[in-house]
Structure 1
Amino acid sequence: MAESLTKAIHHFIEDRYQTKREALDKDHEKERSQATTAQDIESVDVTFADKRDKLRSDFDASNWLDSAAKRASQISMATHAVKFTHSSAKGTNVLAADLGQDNRYLDTAVLQMPAIDAVGNAAALDVARLLQLSDDNGESLLDYLKLDDVSSLKVIAKNDTQLEEWRVGLKQALLDATPSSHTLAKQVYFPIADNEYHLLAPLYSSSLSQAIYQEINHSRFSQEMVAAREARKKQVPHSEPVVAYPNLAVTIAGGSKPQNVSQLNSGRGGRNYLFSTRPPEWQSQLKAPLTSDNIFTHPELRYATRFAIKRLVSFLIQVNQQERESNLAIRNKVKRLVDEVIDEVFAKVSQWQQLSLGWSDETNELPAAQCRWLDPNNPKWDQHDDQWLQDIAKAFGGWLVANVNHFAKDELSLGLVESNQWQEAFKQALWEIS
């Protein structure tokens, strides 16, 4: 496949020449339009003719590769780049291969064809693009250089000496003769013996970031996803599933000059996506109250109503201490506070009512009226029997009085009058929603 790669190299150099030539022609036209005399125009034409000749010479494939081989040492081809830690860090970048894979982790090793990044002098990033050119099999010039295979360059070279200079020079982008870290990089000194350490330098994976960036952008902007989301909006079938990544965070590497960090980072505009790693929210598994003999004393219901009952107790104690005569305002306030307790009871009971139909058949502890209330869709109930409403309301009234007396301690003591009043309030509320 050397021929297809050679062809790609020629096209790459020619495209760069045409871009430079167009820019030069624009500069020529601009300066020529500003010239005021024939002599000035001639001088401008001569100057730009020389520049065109030099440009054509510079972009002769052989000459351009001479320059590329000399500039390759100014960049590092990498999967992990130190400048993502700090844009002024100058440590070693790593082109990782054969890392070994652990399916428990989302890391660079899971990528079958990780994107190769380039770090270094931005003026030499064209060399990086040269190294990333590939043949019809998808093998890049970089891959061939790793094997010291320069057959794709042989037909361009004037002689074997020049070909060897290209091989040695271009491979400088793959090598770091003096691996090092930097004060602005992350560093961990790992002890291995007395006064002996390994220096660990965690590096950011630009290759993994690129894969995530491409996947998220595909889910957001690709024609397939746009069509799928439109189909979902219209509630019509579509062949593609809708893919979304919620709760994303974005970090910007390099600020206004992302090219100073790396080539891939520049292409991303400095954006690097982070998935949410918040811990899951605990959700208790709802269990049927099979062992309870009174649903009002169940721990979950007591917990759900504790604050509402304490507010009721606090107000009753306040009224009692002030020795105030009962009036409409006080009675209405008490009614609202009792209604709050009833609302909390109903909210909790509604969860048990969502359990599978017939679950109450498995308990011998709960009274029949409470089973009817908590398992309302069980077909065994007599739908014309309303006695269960009275039984539930009576249990509520006694339970609420007992709780108020418990929390009030010696401050006050309620009895049958309040129990009867509250059971009627509960019965009315229960009737309205049943």
Structure 2
Amino acid sequence: MICLFPFSVYEDKGFPMNDPFIDRREAYRVLIERFLKERLDARREKLPDDDPLRDELPSLFERATWLADAARRVGQIQAVTHSLKPIHPDARGTNLYCAPSSLRQHVEVGSHVLGQDFSADVVGNAAALDVYKFLRLEIEGRSLLDGMLAGDASLAAALSDDADEAAAWIEAFTGLIRPRGNPASHTLAKQLYWLVGDDPLQDSQYHLLAPLYASSLAHRVFLTLNEDRFGEAGKAARQARRDKEDHPVGFAEYPNLAVQKLGGTKPQNISQLNSERRGNNYLLGSLPPQWKSRAVRALWHTESAFPRFGQREQVREAIKELRLFLESNPEPTLETRDRRDAYLDVLLDELVCFSREFQEELPTGWTAEPDCELEEAEQLWLDPFRAETDEDFKSKWQGMDWPAGIGQRFGRWLNSKLDKRLPLGEIEQRQWAKELLVDETWAARLHKTRKKMDAPTYIQARRAS
């Protein structure tokens, strides 16, 4: 809110009370004077107490003096939405101010999506950027520059009591967004010759395109990604995920994100918005896709999925390490049990991933095909949502006797992979089965599926004993 001067200030000058024009003029002047005082105080802080310039500064920041100087210096900068210097800092050529709402609307993402809500950038002499900060001052949600462009008479009156002087200053300030000179490219700029005619051998059949950096769009992308990555809402959502708790909103991830630094140690030499970003500009990952063959193939003409499971690289490695460890005949200590359990945990985690791939990547009901010869417990395990259309299958699945059957088959399979030189038998088989059925990851996956299937919440284990 802008604090207006009390009406008594105007009474002595003969102004009528409650005059909206006078109120707005004085509100603008309050805003301008406050800005100039802040600039004056900032300059004073940088000067030693005995510097003679301290006595001269107040006159430089009087409203009329500073505005006259600013109107002269504004020609050193230009408001743009598409700039050249980010392409090459030494390039000299045309920058453009194209309001996003004036651009052609199309389905692809571009500057046009910003509409009326965008940040204009400024290029030119960094020493004159304070003029742009002045023009960005807002009252009632509208900047001074927008007020000048709209022909706000109260703003003109706030700048100067001399109407001609105010008009000259406004003409200079609004020149900030006007094109300057004829469009020109540069040897250090990007340039593309685009064939627009039929004869590629004729130079006249080409248009020269000079792509510019979409500065306003890049700034919105930067702000959006920063909020997604470091904002409080995103942090809370990520923490909820780590805590395995629900959260009302999600969060965004940006894999393969890169940061391009523009301007080195002087980002202000590129543009105002680049300076506000400290030279940081995000580049979204645009790597070519890597072709991957379908990882999951249906299990045809086999009675068990475990031979396929045993072909997984992590499974082969874990079994090899477990076998070597057991063959070393370790002492029956807590350390031995922990190490054995660590190898077993790898196998159980891989088994849960293995089953999830079949459940999620193959079409529901694939086990009903004639080519599927899996044992019934494994069909119930790997194709649970077949129960949605097969009543007999649903009855058997909800009976929940099959998890124990999977544990029994897992135990037999693991024994067969380990007992080449190890005396393993029924006791070990039952232990492997028990480890599977009480594993937290296995139980959590099964519990999640049971909730979807409205099945009983217990798991029978008698067949594994």
| TM-score normalized by the length of structure 1 | 0.63
Structure 2 partner of 1:153: 156
Cα–Cα, structure 1 residues 284 and 366, in superposed 2: closer, same or farther, change >3 Å? closer
Going from structure 1 to structure 2, the CA distance change for 1:75 and 1:353 (only over 3 Å counts) comes to closer
Contact 1:5 1:134 in 2 (8 A): no
Structure-to-structure mapping, 1:22-37, within 5 angstroms:
22-23=45-46, 26-29=47-50
Q: Is the 8 A contact 2:193 2:209 kept in 1?
A: yes
In structure 2, what is the equivalent of residue 320 of structure 1? none
Deviation at 1:180?
A: 1.5
Distance 1:385 1:21 in 2: 83
Task: Give secondary structure in 2 for the equivalent of 1:118.
Answer: strand
CA distance in structure 1 between the partners assigned to 2:234 and 2:369 by the alignment: 51
Match for residue 77 of structure 1 among 76, 79, 82: 79
Give a deviation string over 1:169-224, Cα, whole Å, max 9, x none. Answer: 22332221232111111111223344333322111122122212222332344444
The question of whether the paired residues in 2 share the 8 Å contact of 1:360 and 1:371 is answered with: no
Shift of 1:358: 8.9
Q: In 2 relative to 1, CA 355–430 (structure 1 residues): closer, same or farther, beyond 3 Å?
A: farther
Identity %: 32
Give the match for residue 66 of structure 1. 68
Quick check: 1:284 aligned with 2:294? Answer: yes
**SS of the counterpart of 1:207?**
helix
Change (3 A) 1:283 1:132: farther
Question: Where does 1:135-284 land on structure 2 (aligned, <5 Å)?
Answer: 135-136=139-140, 138-149=141-152, 151-175=154-178, 176-193=180-197, 194-196=202-204, 197-235=206-244, 238-280=247-289, 282=292, 284=294
Alignment of 1:27-426 (within 5 A): 27-29=48-50, 48=52, 51-52=53-54, 54-97=56-99, 98-136=102-140, 138-149=141-152, 151-175=154-178, 176-193=180-197, 194-196=202-204, 197-235=206-244, 238-280=247-289, 282=292, 284=294, 286=296, 288-289=298-299, 292-293=300-301, 350=354, 354-355=358-359, 359=365, 362-367=368-373, 370-372=374-376, 374-375=378-379, 377=381, 379=396
In 2, the alpha carbon distance for the partners of 1:221 and 1:77 equals 29
CA–CA separation in structure 1 for the residues paired with 2:117 and 2:57: 36
Q: What is the deviation of 1:78?
A: 0.9
How many Å separate the matches in 2 of 1:267 and 1:58?
27
Shift of the 124–362 alpha-carbon distance from structure 1 to 2, 3 Å rule, reads same
**Aligned counterparts of 2:249 and 2:364: Cα–Cα separation in 1:** 40
Question: Does the 8 Å CA contact 1:81/1:93 hold for their aligned counterparts?
Answer: yes
Structure 1 residue 127, shift from structure 2 partner: 1.0
Q: Partner amino acid for 1:22?
A: E
- SS of 2:85's equivalent in the other structure is helix
Report the AA paired with residue 203 of structure 2. N
In structure 2, what residue type is equivalent to 1:152? L
Check the 8 A contact 1:353/1:376 in 2, yes or no. Answer: no
Contact 1:72/1:171 (<8 A) preserved: no
1 CA distance for matches of 2:224 and 2:358? 40
Contact 2:28 2:158 in 1 (8 A): no
Contact residue 111 and residue 208 of structure 1 kept, 8 A: no
> For residues 270-309 of structure 1, what are the alpha-carbon distances to aligned partners after superposition, in whole Å with 9 as ceiling and x for unaligned?
00112222345546274645xx55689xxx97xx79xxxx
Provide the residue aligned with 2:34 in structure 1: 11
SS of residue paired to 2:96: coil
SS of 1:251's partner is strand
Q: How has the CA–CA distance of structure 1 residues 52 and 385 changed in structure 2, closer, same or farther, with 3 Å as cutoff?
A: closer
Count of residue correspondences: 343
2:460 corresponding residue in structure 1: none
Distance 1:13-1:361 versus aligned 2 partners, 3 A rule? closer
Shift of 1:53: 5.0
Shift of the alpha carbon at 1:242? Answer: 3.9
Q: Secondary structure at the match of 1:84?
A: coil
Change (3 A) 1:283 1:113: farther
User: Equivalent residue for 1:309?
Assistant: none
Distance 1:53 1:108, change over 3 A: farther
Cα separation, partners in 2 of 1:131 and 1:278, compared to 1, 3 Å: same
Secondary structure in 2 aligned to 1:124? helix
Q: Is the 8 A contact 2:137 2:144 kept in 1?
A: yes
CA 1:153–1:275 in structure 2 vs 1: closer, same or farther (change >3 Å)?
A: same
- Decide which structure has the larger Cα Rg and report it: 1
So what's the TM-score if we normalise by structure 2?
Answer: 0.60
- With over 3 angstroms needed to count, the CA separation of the structure-2 counterparts of 1:352 and 1:87, relative to structure 1, is closer
**Aligned partners of 1:358, 1:96: CA distance in 2, in Å?**
53
Partners of 1:226 and 1:285 in 2: how far apart?
34
Amino acid at match of 1:270: G
Kindly report the root-mean-square deviation, in angstroms, between the aligned alpha carbons of the 2 structures.
4.7
Unpaired segments of 5 or more residues in structure 2?
A: 1-20, 313-326, 328-346, 382-392, 414-419, 421-427, 434-463
- Residues 232 and 91 of structure 1: CA distance in aligned 2, closer, same or farther (over 3 Å): same
Q: Secondary structure at the match of 1:172?
A: helix
